[in-house]
Amino acid sequence: MLRKEQNDLVTQTGPGTPMGQLFRSYWIPALLSEQLPENDCPPVRVKLLSERLVAFRDSQGRYGLIDEFCPHRGASLWFGRNEESGLRCPYHGWKFDVTGQCVEVPSEPVESHFCDKIKLKSYPLVKRGPVLWTYMGPPEKQPPLPEWEFAMVPSDQVFVSKRLQECNWLQAMEGGIDSSHVSFLHRGDLNSDPLFKGAKGNKYNLGDLSPVFEVVESEGGLYIGARRNAENGNYYWRITPWVMPSFTMVPPRGDHPVHGHFWIPIDDENCWAYTYDYHATRPLTAEEREAMRAGKGVHSRNIPGTFRPAANKDNDYLMDRAAQKAGRTFSGVEGIAIQDASLQESMGPIVDRTKENLVSTDNGIIMARHRLMRAAKALVEKGVTPPGVDTAHQRVRSASVVLPADQPFKDAVKEALAVRPGMAHASV
Amino acid sequence: MLSESARMTTAAEAKFRINAPNSKPRAIKVIALDKRSEEVVKRLAREPWNKASFFASVHFDSPPQEGADWSMKTWLNDLAGRTSKLIDEISTADLVVMVVAAGSKAEAASVIGEACMLKRVMTTALILDRASASDTALSDTLLHLRPYASMLVVADDEDYIKSMLVALRA
């Protein structure tokens, strides 16, 4: 449970809010690079942290993320002409470069330098992996570029998708660090999904339906360890890292690619779920890519041409009560991503946490909220850089391992929980 | 026409959520297992709580042994110095939280854990001061706690215990 003022603190991310300021400390995903596929391609509307922006790629391949609205009379630059190293408003021809600097005002004499006085708010936009990242904080505090492993491996080893989730970012992210729902909501998918099945470790999931959870703080956030009984008195651990503010990585199964998410606030009632899948040491196979594109694993099948899932609230998530009754799905909704999204959206645009009744297995969520609130307050009150900004915190992996019963997992597999270039994830 | 899900997930509809208590206060018993955690538990006990109660120490009529019925012969001291039988306190608990410093042997965990298993009460163990204990010492603590904790948390700062108890409506 949170008090109302605490719930407001963790859910509101617009300009001037503490959590908004926290998000602005980081490089965050702004678009998929495929959304700006070539120089002078059409601009794209982008809304992030409750700010309306437009993204474009100019004639020289430079990326820009600028205020959406022309400073002349407020027309949307989504209608803009992307040409000759700038975005030109079609209304009166005002033109802007990727920094938001106005470079032409056709109705004014060039000698007046009127355009020098006009500059739109802009944020840096850079490509790392298949994602375009932006940093929306003070320029003097801009951190080093992100070093998440999925963004650093060769392009044939990674796949990233994106979907709209129509609820606040936090209730979406909390699903990613809530290990106890997997045995219920996603019960049907473990043995049937092509991106999960066949792993040796699955036998431990099926043999012990009552995992015990441990939550351990880390420098960048926390680890959640789910332990199950293995042979010879050992434990099978599945270890999930959460790095602030909203990164998670699911523990691997066998040699399948490893996946995880970022949840990025669009505004206080909507967020993007960026979902990555990558393998540290080999290219993804054609079958794996096809499965991801088809919405298998933790990806979603989207309406063509959009990032909105095909199963969404407008069609009751394609609810199938017969499948629910027959046990093919637990909730009647198909697909891991939409199984999560449907329940998280059903909580309302911003869930009222004053009405919660948490239990001890929710300690991952409790700890994450605790750390987020503490980090936001320390940033606002004392200027303390939050965890997760340091690229060392981003070079993290998940792991699935078998360990003796007395081992603290965070220390016993310390090396496996960090990126080791050229080595595969620790996996069973 | 909007689907039912589309209508019902709006902010406007969220206002119609029933505004009445949906649970009764939980009896959470917080037990310190060593001197260090006793200091923390004493500080926590000074805050206002719903139905949480705090115990500063555990003592036995004679040294505990695993496997024997020691939960019946174990006593808890609350912060006012009153003594009560462990099994009686467990019987009225919804959750038992054991607080222990990393490196502590936490011997009482087995006795408390047995009592909780007998009475089907969930246990959570919170380990403090991780940074000041060696890996070997922490392993020792984990070995004693893991068989008896349904949930285990290693927290870097003791403020987390209060956050957890508030989150659980203690």
CA A341/CA A159 separation, integer angstroms:
20
A269–chain B nearest CA distance, Å? 9
CA A217/CA A408 separation, integer angstroms:
12
Q: Buried (b) or exposed (e) across A319-332, using 16+ Cβ within 10 A?
A: bbeebeeeeebbbb
For position B19, what pLDDT does the model report? Answer: 85
Structure token pair of residue B29: 């018993």
CA A223/CA A342 separation, integer angstroms:
26
Q: What are A347-397's pLDDT values in tens digits? A: 999 999 999 999 999 999 999 999 999 999 999 999 999 999 999 999 999
**Which residues in chain A have their CB less than 8 angstroms from residue B136's CB?**
none
For position B107, what pLDDT does the model report? Answer: 83
Determine whether the interchain pair B14/A348 forms a contact, defined as Cβ–Cβ distance below 8 Å. yes
For residue A154, what are the CA distances in angstroms to A149, A157, A158? 10, 6, 7
For position A188, what pLDDT does the model report? Answer: 74
Q: Buried (b) or exposed (e) across B52-72, using 16+ Cβ within 10 A?
A: bbbbbbbebeeebeeeeebbe
Classified as helix, coil or strand, B47 is: coil
Determine whether the interchain pair B3/A315 forms a contact, defined as Cβ–Cβ distance below 8 Å. yes
B97–chain A nearest CA distance, Å? 9
Other CB atoms within 10 A of residue A147 CB: 17
Each of the 428 residues of chain A gets a pLDDT tens digit; together they read 999 999 999 999 999 999 999 999 999 999 999 999 999 999 999 999 999 999 999 999 999 999 999 999 999 999 999 999 999 999 999 999 999 999 999 999 988 889 999 999 999 999 999 999 999 999 999 999 999 999 999 999 999 999 999 999 999 999 999 878 887 898 877 666 666 677 777 778 777 778 899 999 999 999 999 998 888 999 999 999 999 999 999 999 899 999 999 999 999 999 999 999 999 999 999 999 999 999 998 999 999 999 999 999 999 999 999 999 999 999 999 999 999 999 999 999 999 999 999 999 999 999 999 999 999 999 999 999 999 999 999 999 999 999 998 888 888 899 999 999 999 999 98
CA A87/CA A40 separation, integer angstroms:
9
Determine whether the interchain pair B22/A166 forms a contact, defined as Cβ–Cβ distance below 8 Å. no
Nearest CA to A10 out of A366, A335, A290, A324 is that of: A366
Please answer whether residues B129 and B106 qualify as being in contact, where contact means their C-beta atoms are separated by less than 8 angstroms.
no
Q: Which amino acid is at A366?
A: I
Q: Buried (b) or exposed (e) across A407-418, using 16+ Cβ within 10 A?
A: bbbbebbeebbe
Quick one: angle between helices A4-11 and A363-382, nearest 10?
80
Determine whether the interchain pair B140/A167 forms a contact, defined as Cβ–Cβ distance below 8 Å. no
Determine whether the interchain pair B17/A348 forms a contact, defined as Cβ–Cβ distance below 8 Å. yes
For residue A182, what are the CA distances in angstroms to A226, A373, A426, B95? 11, 26, 21, 23
CA A299/CA A115 separation, integer angstroms:
45
A418–chain B nearest CA distance, Å? 18
Please answer whether residues A377 and A18 qualify as being in contact, where contact means their C-beta atoms are separated by less than 8 angstroms.
yes
Classified as helix, coil or strand, A265 is: strand
CA B127/CA B155 separation, integer angstroms:
6
Please answer whether residues B108 and B147 qualify as being in contact, where contact means their C-beta atoms are separated by less than 8 angstroms.
no
Q: Which amino acid is at A87?
A: L
Q: Which residue has the tokens 């009552």?
A: A210
Nearest CB partner across the interface for B164, out of A345, A357, A366: A366
Q: What are A179-212's pLDDT values in tens digits? A: 788 878 988 776 666 666 777 777 787 777 788 9
CB neighbours of A228 closer than 8 A, spacing ≥ 6? A204, A205, A207, A208, A211, A212, A235, A236, A238
Q: Name the DSSP letter for residue B24.
A: P
Determine whether the interchain pair B168/A360 forms a contact, defined as Cβ–Cβ distance below 8 Å. yes
CA B110/CA B115 separation, integer angstroms:
9
Q: Name the DSSP letter for residue A396.
A: B
Q: How far apart are the first and last CA of chain A?
A: 36
Q: What are B40-98's pLDDT values in tens digits? A: 999 999 999 999 999 987 777 666 555 556 556 778 888 888 888 898 999 999 999 99
For position A46, what pLDDT does the model report? Answer: 98
Determine whether the interchain pair B3/A166 forms a contact, defined as Cβ–Cβ distance below 8 Å. no
Q: Which residue has the tokens 């999204």?
A: A341
Q: Name the DSSP letter for residue A302.
A: B
For position B68, what pLDDT does the model report? Answer: 53
CA A246/CA A263 separation, integer angstroms:
6
Nearest CA to A332 out of A317, A349, A354, A348 is that of: A317
- Is B162 in the A-facing interface, judged by CB distances under 8 Å? no
**Which residues in chain A have their CB less than 8 angstroms from residue B14's CB?**
348-350, 352
